[in-house]
Amino acid sequence: MRIGHGFGPVFDSGSRVLILGSFPSVRSREVGFYYGHPQNRFWRVLGRVLNDPAPDGTDARKAYLSRHGVALWDSVVACEITGSADASIRDPEPADLTRVLSVSPIEAIFCNGALSYSLLQKNETLPNGLPVFRLPSTSPANAAWSLDRLAEEWKIVSSYLQ
């Protein structure tokens, strides 16, 4: 069954980096916001990278992202998927990045995991010359990476926000 994303990007005219996941998990779709599964380490990693612990709750997290110049979205806005497994994504519809890039002075795009990166490379709305980084996934499925190790790799995000 084809599933739509369910919620759009978070961005504003002050966003300087764009972080892209692949597609929201079942739990994220249930709560209606990014990285809603308590075992996903995204918010803890971002808090370490920005040296400012991320708050709980959708509205507080949106304000947090805005305050730090971070835009957040996914590489895919609709697809066929079984549960939350990236490996099960079929027939992905790519996000139209111009929606964010036409408003925000994005300096770099960071992909949360290999699938997000792979899908972004096929996205026809990706402008030439914009740096794109593949970062290790914060998903609990990426158990080989500790929170400390993830935060160390994700530090590069803060270099674009100084």
For residue range 36-52, what is the model confidence (pLDDT) as tens digits? 999 999 999 999 999 99
- Residue 88 confidence (pLDDT): 80
Q: Please say whether the beta carbons of 80 and 1 come within 8 A.
A: yes
CA 50 to chain centre: 15
Q: CATH homologous superfamily for 2-159?
A: Uracil-DNA glycosylase-like domain (3.40.470.10)
- Residue 85 confidence (pLDDT): 74
Which residues 6+ apart lie within 8 Å of 146 measured at CB? none
- Residue 98 confidence (pLDDT): 95
Reported as a single tens digit per residue, the pLDDT across 86-99 is 778 888 999 999 99
Reported as a single tens digit per residue, the pLDDT across 2-38 is 898 888 999 999 999 999 999 998 899 899 999 999 9
Round the CA-based radius of gyration of the chain to a whole number and report it.
14
Please give the model's pTM, rounded to 2 decimal places: 0.95
Hey, where are the domains in the chain?
Answer: 2-159
Reported as a single tens digit per residue, the pLDDT across 63-88 is 999 999 999 999 999 988 887 777 78
Which residues 6+ apart lie within 8 Å of 2 measured at CB? 78, 79, 80, 91
The tokens describing 123, both together, are 């996205």
- Residue 52 confidence (pLDDT): 98
Could you tell me what percent of the chain has a pLDDT over 90?
A: 75
